[in-house]
Amino acid sequence: MQVGVEASSESGRGSLADALLVGAYDIHRHGYPEMSLDCRTRYSDVDNLISSRDAGFKAVVLKSHFWPTVGRAYHLRNLVPGIDIIPSITLNRVVGGFDPIAVESAALQGARVMWFPTWSAANDIERGGISRQIMPAYLKRTKDLPSDYGLRVTDAGGKVGSDVRECLAVAAEHDMLVCTGHISAQESIALAGAIKDAGIERFVFTHPDSGTVGATLEQIDEMVSLGAVCEVCAIGFMPLYMRMRIAEFVALIERLGSAKIVLTSDYFFDWFPPASEAVRLVVGTLLQCNVSIDAIKDMICRNPARLIGATGS
């Protein structure tokens, strides 16, 4: 079918891109506060969730670089009914790093997603990720973090640590989705083996196209061959980042297959549009590039639903 021209009303609503958001999941979204009260977002969590619910989203996963989002999600569910709000934990140093007790407690409070370290990852520090680019503006004690502050999932010989495996065992026990965070591509490949050893079948290679992770196409191929789903974030198409052009995303879909990709917002910053709108912009652009409706539904509905253990759309 020709999708270069979308059916729409005069107001611009009712487009095919809008329709495709019905039944969507956003499994990577930040909220406010994050890092500091000065690190603002354009929309409150409540307004952002209402916007997503009204756009037809079924669920979102709330992520924080600092604290488990279990308390936030618990209260937001009462404020914004009609959309599933899923909490998570990120294994940065503030929660003890690779601490299985922290993972267990988060899981028993409803966390269904476990991210490996982001700003606390040695790779993030070494590659000048958010630990260098963003955090020092809000947290003065993060300026010039030494590389040995960073966490690695593997030792010098490339072996996955026992503490990492303990965290994976807890994640497996509680049927949590595992995401690789900001660790290196090579660490992620090693971690994928440990994930499989733990009996976990659902895991995500976190935005491998980002400058922080910096994975090659061959490394993405390898991760997918090991069972990972490749994440692509709407924020990566924003002018500040431009991690890839839409044509490159289309090529990635053709390379991996839509069943191996999940599209998320990675909502952050005070200049970012509502998370649902960011996803809609990417969806609409993919339609203009003649990506099939079925492929788009894979990436925003079926795949994320499967990843979080929900009923697919």
Give the rounded distance of the alpha carbon of 19 from its chain centre: 23
Domain for residue 9, yes or no?
Answer: no
Instruction: Give the residue-averaged pLDDT of 234-250.
Output: 92
**Cβ atoms of 116 and 180 closer than 8 Å:** yes
Q: What is the pLDDT of residues 114-131, one digit of tens each?
A: 999 999 999 999 999 999
C-alpha span between 207 and 209 (Å, rounded)? 5
pLDDT of residue 268: 85
Domain enclosing residue 76, as ranges: 16-307
How does residue 269 score in pLDDT terms, banded at 50, 70 and 90? confident
How does residue 84 score in pLDDT terms, banded at 50, 70 and 90? very high
pLDDT of 5 strictly over 90? no
Contacts of 140 (CB under 8 A, 6+ apart): none
Q: Which residue intervals of the chain are DSSP H helices?
A: 16-20, 45-55, 70-79, 100-108, 122-126, 130-133, 162-173, 185-197, 217-225, 246-256, 275-288, 293-297, 303-307
pLDDT of residue 91: 99
Domain for residue 8, yes or no?
Answer: no
pLDDT of residue 16: 97
| Residue that wins the pLDDT comparison between 269 and 247 | 247
- Dihedral sign (CA 205, 192, 216, 89): positive
Domain for residue 247, yes or no?
Answer: yes
pLDDT, mean over the chain? 94
Portion of the chain with pLDDT greater than 90, in percent: 89
Q: Compute, in degrees rounded to 10, the torsion defined by CA atoms 290, 291, 297, 300.
A: -110
C-alpha span between 152 and 142 (Å, rounded)? 18
Domain for residue 130, yes or no?
Answer: yes
The three-point CA angle 202-273-312 to 5° equals: 30
Give the rounded distance of the alpha carbon of 52 from its chain centre: 16
Domain for residue 278, yes or no?
Answer: yes
Domain for residue 289, yes or no?
Answer: yes
Task: Return the SS3 of 203.
Answer: strand
C-alpha span between 194 and 27 (Å, rounded)? 22
Tokens standing for residue 124: 């993030």
H or E segment and range at residue 25 = strand 25-30
State the total domains in the chain. Answer: 1
Q: What is the pLDDT of residues 129-173, one digit of tens each?
A: 999 999 999 999 999 898 899 999 999 999 999 999 999 999 999
C-alpha span between 278 and 89 (Å, rounded)? 24
| Residue that wins the pLDDT comparison between 174 and 12 | 174
pLDDT of 65 strictly over 70? yes
Domain for residue 253, yes or no?
Answer: yes
pLDDT of residue 2: 35
CATH number of 291's domain: 3.20.20.140
Cβ–Cβ contacts within 10 Å for residue 216, how many? Answer: 10
DSSP letter string, 143-201? TT--GGGSB-SB-TTSPBPHHHHHHHHHHHHTT-EEE-TTS-HHHHHHHHHHHHHTT--
Domain for residue 36, yes or no?
Answer: yes
**Cβ atoms of 194 and 168 closer than 8 Å:** yes
Portion of the chain with pLDDT greater than 70, in percent: 95
Give the residues across from 89 on adjacent strands.
114
pLDDT of residue 7: 38
pLDDT of 12 strictly over 70? no
